[in-house]
Structure 1
């Protein structure tokens, strides 16, 4: 047979058995216990009313703990947001530094007067395996047959095509396509007629190369 629980007024105070000091209700708890008794039709609060009010104290503690936990979580969220913002700023700074390094490298590889620099030819050899050589700037009388072939094929490829790329930009400055003539010892063309004259010179060099080969 299971024992029926004894009424609280028939049990001894557990705090006294443990040797602890008894806890008293606060004035607010006492007024709440009196109000509970009046609602039940009693003049004074009994032990059950006081126990109810004492039990509510622990629930308040729990709610206060929940509030502090919420505050802590909001603080931690703010800290994590700050960390993520710092990381994103670092990433953007690294990207800008990389892009500036790439831009400076490409500027070093291109000759501002036209064509590629020695560093640019090395970069092409490293990336694409192409063995590029500097343009032939010698006079026609001093050229070897191979140099005639190289310069003639360049001139026909660049300025002998049916439709030429733009030779001048919107501000009237020569484009990279036009500046390539400087790397081969030719005047930079700004008009289609000037570009066609370079192409005709290239055809003459190729014809001379074929005659010397025969």
Structure 2
């Protein structure tokens, strides 16, 4: 009797943070979600929509009143902390660093609002 070859599956979680393309496809198939990869562009090159996405992510993740742990017991960054790398931000090692990412996100959202008002007047 022949054994079937095991089908190699693509990993869904990127070890450096965030999801892989296979992970985003998996969510789309399972939940109908339309996830996009994180915005890694410099602020000067972002479109208003990208500013809104990155700002919303930063405030949602690192602007919470009570943050999830940023390090495991052995000192390695948690998946929560590694998410920053998937969005082009440095991995926060302290709560203050995480709050700085949230503040940057708030500035991006403010910049998006200004761009939106400017566009609606034109």
TM-score computed with the length of structure 2 as normaliser: 0.88
What's 2:49 paired with? 146
Equivalent residue for 2:82, pick from 161, 179, 195: 179
Kindly provide the CA deviation profile for residues 29-52 of structure 1, in whole angstroms up to 9, marking residues without a partner as x: xxxxxxxxxxxxxxxxxxxxxxxx
Question: What CA RMSD, in Å, does the superposition of the two structures yield over aligned residues?
Answer: 1.3
Structure 1: which 5+ residue stretches go unaligned? 1-100
Pairwise CA distance, 1:209: 0.2
What's 1:193 paired with? 96
Which gives a bigger RCO, structure 1 or 2 (Cα 8 Å, sep 6+)?
2
Q: Which has the larger radius of gyration?
A: 1
Matched residues in 1 for 2:66 and 2:109: separation? Answer: 21
Equivalent residue for 1:133, pick from 20, 36, 42: 36
Pairwise CA distance, 1:164: 0.1
What's 1:213 paired with? 116
Helix, strand or coil for the counterpart of 2:11?
helix
Matched residues in 2 for 1:196 and 1:130: separation? Answer: 28
Pairwise CA distance, 1:142: 0.3
Number of equivalent positions: 111
Helix, strand or coil for the counterpart of 1:200?
helix
Higher helix share: 1
Pairwise CA distance, 1:190: 1.1
The list of structure 1 runs, each at least 4 consecutive aligned residues, that deviate by more than 3 angstroms after superposition, is none
